[in-house]
Amino acid sequence: MSSKDLEFLLSTRHDNGSDFWATPEGKIGVGGPFGTMAALTIMSELEVPSTHEAVIGAASLVIQAIRDDGRARIAPKGAIYPCHTAAAAAALCRNGFAQHPRVVLMLKYLLENRYEDGGWRCNKFIWGKGPETEHSNPGVTLWALDAFRCAGYNNKETSLDSAVETLLDHWTVRSPTGPCHFGIGTQYMKVEYPFLRYNLFYTTYVLSFYDVAKSDPRFLEMLDALCKKLDGQGRLIVERPNAKLAKLDFCKAGQPSEVATRRYQEILLNLEK
């Protein structure tokens, strides 16, 4: 854990008007990467202990946002979308809260409420409707699969295999898919870290935990593309960090990242299991 990076992150905890990166009205998904859920994800990458007061405080806000039906309401007003629930689940599970009764309820909701292809999507068609929108959203599906692997559902809950297939298929299709038009292009292929949104590194990392993906030629193509991002010393170079994270040492643009490299090495270890 980098104490300097954590110190900077904690210095932003009141920037949205309340504590733990929330707004006075109770919004916890505002202003990425410094909303409550994103801050939780960054702290998990910094390996901040789940007993740290900032992790406990932020996680408590997200847990309080989980409704009795398992969905997460990340703002007092407005629609509730699957991406909200999936992102909340990933943030909580990455920080060790997968066994909390409310999180278990949320995971149950995600398992039982999926699109027909096995992934997850939001029924919000900001780009209009067409053949390409009749698919799940890769970004939402990635968050959900991340949550489930942290909770230990990977390789046990076989129904998740179809969700894995949607991400492998998108690698082949590449064109904008789902109501939110997630595509695979130049920006997707850049090494982006920490894991906050849909990109090559995050997708390859999560899929490496699913046995159904590890021997698939499409996954191996993804891994090969990521391997080409290493420098001469086998270190992963961050190409596309969030601009607001420029002051963090562990994810500086154009620089090798020790933490990101460990995540890459974790992918390789997963392939040996």
Contact 207, 245 (CB under 8 A): no
Question: What single letter denotes the amino acid at residue 240?
Answer: R
Instruction: Name which of 232, 216, 229, 221 is nearest 260 in CA terms.
Output: 229
Provide the Cα torsion 50, 52, 55, 61; round to 10°. Answer: 110
Would you state the pLDDT for residue 243? 83
Would you state the pLDDT for residue 237? 96
Q: How far, in Å, CA of 93 to CA of 44, rounded?
A: 10
Q: How far, in Å, CA of 218 to CA of 202, rounded?
A: 15
Q: Render each residue's pLDDT in the chain as its tens digit; 273 residues.
A: 578 999 999 999 999 999 999 999 999 988 667 899 999 999 999 999 999 999 999 999 999 999 999 999 999 988 899 999 999 999 999 999 999 999 999 999 999 999 999 999 887 656 556 666 678 899 999 999 999 999 999 999 999 999 999 999 999 988 777 666 578 899 999 999 999 999 999 999 999 999 999 999 999 999 999 999 999 999 999 999 888 898 899 999 999 999 999 999 999 999 998
Instruction: Name which of 257, 200, 254, 196 is nearest 42 in CA terms.
Output: 196
* 237 strand-pairing partners: 256
In Å, the largest CA–CA distance within the chain is 51
For 167-229, give the secondary structure using H, E and C.
HHHHHHHCCCECCCCECCCHHHHCCCCCCCCCCHHHHHHHHCCCHHHHCCHHHHHHHHHHHCC
Residue 155 corresponds to which tokens in the numbers above?
């390789």
Between the CA of residue 101 and those of 43, 66, 147, what are the distances in Å? 22, 10, 15
Residue 100 corresponds to which tokens in the numbers above?
């909390």
Would you state the pLDDT for residue 246? 86
CB atoms within 10 A of CB 193: 27
Sign of CA dihedral 19, 21, 27, 31: positive
Would you state the pLDDT for residue 130? 64
Would you state the pLDDT for residue 133? 66
CB atoms within 10 A of CB 187: 13
Between the CA of residue 170 and those of 6, 59, 119, 178, 191, what are the distances in Å? 35, 32, 12, 10, 18
Would you state the pLDDT for residue 225? 98
Residue 11 contacts by C-beta under 8 Å, 6 or more apart in sequence? none
Q: How far, in Å, CA of 22 to CA of 7, rounded?
A: 18
In this prediction the pTM is: 0.95
Q: Give, rounded to a whole angstrom, the gap between the first and last alpha carbons of the chain.
A: 27
Sign of CA dihedral 26, 32, 34, 39: positive
